[in-house]
Structure 1
């Protein structure tokens, strides 16, 4: 009986587990994911089954954005919200990166700080608002403090975990070659963790934006979150939708910026993934 002819293996398709997509295929699926909800929203709004007070049409929201831009100072609201989120995020990063590096490097530091961080990170940031108003006041520093509390403790633990993922063999090899603790941190731990650290910053930037509306509860009179809260009182649903969509668009731009930076700084990590 003759052996079956050898068949050339099929090239992996786009639905292969852990497969890959070409750039055109990626953007095709991305557009499908982004515009399908918009299309469904438009169909539901046009059907008349839902009162516009509860679900305004995309056209109504677009008109509200235009009015907000030309008459109600949208650029100022956007700018102050970006400032608050960026300041809270940067303050978190400045403190979390070195502390997380120490926690991930030294067991005594981890034993001292991790349980405390785990304890605090489950406390909702909104619960700290009365204390923040007592300790800091009601100016911009209070709003930045809310975003800081909402992101710092999560970021700290994620940074520590990124550092711990450094292969043990690399650390042992550095020990064998006589490297000092400082040299191991500088030449082994940091280079190994950098791609994951940038991803951690990208994820926690998204969390920072989710705390914007909470932060602008503190005696604000401007900002996207404040505008959403003010619109809620008067059932201006088009403004609520417009504010939420604008926050999402700004976050998407920032997220893509982090992804672009990751590709530029760590192309080898992209190839490995």
Structure 2
């Protein structure tokens, strides 16, 4: 009986009972928490570099009751969403074009492949020359970090749509515009939502980089300011807050995807 249970748990790409899945998540977080406690309370790492969980929790609570800290959260959320939305508004249509027409692919994909390997931080001096050091500069850093990856993934998602589906639409009398708007775009929407969810995660990872551009507000700025004063509790709080915000937004994308496209995940 036990052997069958273990075989089921270790089966490749097979579902497991929900309780076992939740236990796996719980075990991981508890294990990391124990390691953190052991390293900090036993002084295996200097407290200047690794504060105790209790100190971080206290700092977190103090930050959450501070209205100014919520202002830092708000400006960071604004920057992330503006960079993400700008990347989507420009990148999704270009990705669909590149995945639909080979000529458009030749114009868009090679350039995107080339630039995507360039770190967004390397563009900061140019961005400061182009648009200054205000809010547009920070949004543009996040845009650059997301845009080229988004174009490539959307193009790949579009290109994966079955040619049989396109042939069937032509047989039924659809013209080129109708094939794009009524076949290709609806067929790729579930994958597009998953792609946007992935890109949103990247947008949050570029936040701290974006807030290196002469920032005087935001979570990334708070982390960098805490680093200058060796305030590691505040650094941990900033990292945790960014992680929690990213997780909440990720879950919202996941729920929206499941609600809008239940068939994509095996629903009814």
Calculate the TM-score normalised by the size of structure 1: 0.92
CA distance in 1 between counterparts of 2:17 and 2:90 reads: 39
Match of 1:108 among 103, 114, 118: 103
What do the CA deviations read for 1:67-103 (whole angstroms, capped 9, x no partner)? 2233472211111111100110000011111111111
Match of 1:222 among 200, 214, 217: 217
Cα 1:161–1:207, aligned 2, differ >3 Å: closer, same or farther? same
Count of equivalent residues: 264
CA distance in 2 between counterparts of 1:75 and 1:179 reads: 52
Equivalence for 1:165: 160
Equivalence for 1:78: 73
Match of 2:259 among 260, 264, 271: 264
Q: How does 1:33-182 map to 2 (within 5 A)?
A: 33-71=28-66, 73-182=68-177
What do the CA deviations read for 1:151-179 (whole angstroms, capped 9, x no partner)? 00100110111111101111111122221
Equivalence for 1:4: none
CA distance in 2 between counterparts of 1:32 and 1:90 reads: 36
Contact 2:94–2:108 (CA<8 Å) still a contact in 1?
no
Structure 1 unmatched runs, 5+:
1-8
- The root-mean-square deviation of aligned C-alpha atoms, in Å, is 1.8
CA distance in 1 between counterparts of 2:180 and 2:163 reads: 13
CA distance in 2 between counterparts of 1:72 and 1:45 reads: 30
What do the CA deviations read for 1:80-138 (whole angstroms, capped 9, x no partner)? 11110011000001111111111110000001111111111111111111111111111
2:266 match: secondary structure: helix
CA distance in 2 between counterparts of 1:34 and 1:158 reads: 31
- Is 1:242 equivalent to 2:237 in the alignment? yes
Calculate the TM-score normalised by the size of structure 2: 0.93
CA distance in 1 between counterparts of 2:76 and 2:116 reads: 24
- Is 1:196 equivalent to 2:191 in the alignment? yes
